[in-house]
Amino acid sequence: MLDRTQQISAASWKAERDIMSADADPDRARRFRDAALPHLDDVYTLAHYLMRNQADAEDAVQECYLRALRHFDSYRGPEIKPWLLAILRNVCKTEFARQSERPVAIERSDDHAPVEPPAWQEAQSSPEVELLRRHDAETIRRLIAALPPQFREAIVLRDINNLSYRQIAEVADLPVGTVMSRLARARSMLRAAWNAEEEPKP
Amino acid sequence: MNCSEADVLINALLDGELDAGHASDVEAHVASCHDCADKLASLRAVRVAMASAGLKEMAPAALRDRIERALPAASASPAGAPASIARRAAPWRLNRRVFAGGFAVGTALSAAVAATLLVAVVRDDRDQKIASEVVSAHLRSLQPGHLTDVETSDQHTVKPWFNGKLDVAPPVIDLTAEGFTLIGGRLDDIDGETAAALVYRRRHHVINLFVARHPGGEHARGGSEIHHGFNVRHWTDGGLDFWAVSDINAGELDEFCKKFTAAAHPAPSS
Ligand SMILES: [Zn+2]
C-alpha cells in the first residue's frame, strides 16, 4: 500500500513539475481549464466505475487532467469530452496493468460499500418504501460494478455519461458495431443479474 | 429481420441511434414479435431504472481543488471562479415495477451480426446538430411573414423560382391529392449552406421540407427523431439531402415522406 501511494504521488508530482516548467503560456492553460474542467464530473464518474474505489478514482482523474494538459496541443477533435475520457481510460488501464504485476493483488470485492443517504432525503416516503429504494439503488450500483470491465465501461459511457455510440467508439477505440454489441450484452447481463437477485433459484 | 438481428438493433433503437429505415424495420419486427416486444419493454425499463438511480458521480470538491491548483492559470488568476462544490445527485427513485417481466438470462448476441449491420446504420453525431438546426429553421419559418418567399400551390411556379438561387434543383412535388398541400417555397439556411424549403400544409399544420446538396464522399445518412416536440425525418436521394420537420404526428410525417419519395420516382419497376 505504501509502495503504491509513493509511486502515485511521485508520478503526480513529476507531472505537475513538468507542467510548471513546460507551460509558459497562461492563455493555453486558461483555454484548457475552460474546455476541460466542465467535464470533471463525467471523467470522475468513469473513473469511479472503472477503478471501483474512491482513492484510485481520484488519482486516475488527476493524472488524466495532467496528461491532458500536457497533450492539449495535440488535441484537434471537435469535442473534448471523448478525448478526456479516452485519456482517463488509458490511465486506468495502465494502473490495472501495474497492479496486476505486483505479487499480491488488492482485494476489491468489498470496495463498493453503499453509502447511507442523509436522513433528510425522501422524508415524505414511508420507511419501507425508502428502504426498498435505497436497496434498489445499491443493488444497481453493485451489479454494474460486478460487470466485466469492457461491459461496465460500455454501460457507464452510454447510460450514465450519455455518450453517443460514435463517441463511445472514439473513447474505447473500437468499431461502432463492437460498441453496440457490447452495450447490448451489458444490458442483458445487468438485467439477468437483477433477475437473479430478485428471484433466487431454490 | 430475424430476432438475432433485432436483438442488437433494439438497443440502438432505444438509444435513438438508428437511421429512419432501420428504425422502422426494427419497429415492424417488434410489432409482430412478442419476444422482441417484451425485450424492448424490458430494456426500456432497465434504462429508466438506471436513469432514476442517480448513478452519475460528482467529483469530490477536494479533487477539483487539487486539479485547479495544479493548473498554472489558477495561481495567475486567483479571482477566477471558485471550485464548485458538488452535492451528490438527487435521491434516486426507482420504481421496482420497471423490473417486472424479463428476457432470457444471458441473451446470446452475435458480435458478427452487430459488426456487419451497425456500421452502416448508426447515424452521425452531425445529424443531431443538423436536426436541431432544421427545427430552428422550422420555428423561424412560423414567424409571421417568414413562411414563404414564393407563395403558390402551383409546383410549376415554385420550381423555376429556385433557379439561379441554389446550386441544386430541388424536386417540387404537389401532394394536394395525397392530403399534403404545397403552399410555397423559400430559401433557408441549414448547416451553413443555402437550402430550398418547400412548404406544405396538412390541415392546420405546416411541414417544412428542406433540400440541399448532399456533401460528397459520405455514406448515405438518414434519421428519425424528435427535437423539442417536432418530428424530424432525414433521407438522402439523388445526391440531395432532405429533412422534413413538422408538429404533425410521426405516422403522418412518415406518410408524407413516403408519398414525396414515391412521387419523386414516378416509374417504379418490379
Ligand atoms: Zn423477434
pTM (2 d.p.): 0.54
> Chain A contacts of B99, Cβ < 8 Å?
194-195, 198
Which pLDDT belongs to residue A51?
93
Closest residue of chain A to B104, computed from CA coordinates: A192
B128 interfacial to chain A (CB closer than 8 Å): yes
The residues in A 73-112 lying below 8 A from B, measured between CB atoms, are none
Positions in chain A whose pLDDT score sits under 70: 1-24, 77-78, 101-135, 199-202
For B156-207, the pLDDT digits (tens) are 888 888 888 888 889 999 898 889 999 899 998 887 788 999 999 998 888 9
> Chain B contacts of A201, Cβ < 8 Å?
none
For B104-140, the pLDDT digits (tens) are 222 333 343 343 344 334 455 666 667 777 877 887 7
Minimal Cα–Cα distance from A98 to chain B, Å?
Answer: 23
Query: Does domain A120-198 match CATH 1.10.10.10?
Result: yes
B85 interfacial to chain A (CB closer than 8 Å): no
Which pLDDT belongs to residue A36?
92
Which pLDDT belongs to residue A131?
53
Is 80 exceeded by the pLDDT of residue B245? Answer: yes
Q: Where do the structural domains in chain A lie, given as residue ranges?
A: 2-99, 120-198
Provide CATH code, domain A2-99.
Answer: 1.10.1740.10
CB contact under 8 A, A189 and B124: no
Which pLDDT belongs to residue A192?
86
Greater confidence (A95 vs B101) lies with A95
**A–B: how many Cβ contacts below 8 A?**
171
- The complex scores an ipTM of 0.72
Provide CATH code, domain B147-264.
Answer: 3.30.200.100
Percent above pLDDT 70 for chain B:
71
For A94-119, the pLDDT digits (tens) are 888 777 765 443 333 333 333 333 33
Q: How far apart are CA B173 and CA B39, in angstroms?
A: 41
Mean pLDDT over the full length of chain B = 73
Which amino acid is it at B147?
L
Pairing of strands B223-227, B193-202: unpaired
> Chain B contacts of A184, Cβ < 8 Å?
7-8, 10-11, 107, 109, 114
Q: Where do the structural domains in chain B lie, given as residue ranges?
A: 3-48, 147-264
A53 interfacial to chain B (CB closer than 8 Å): no
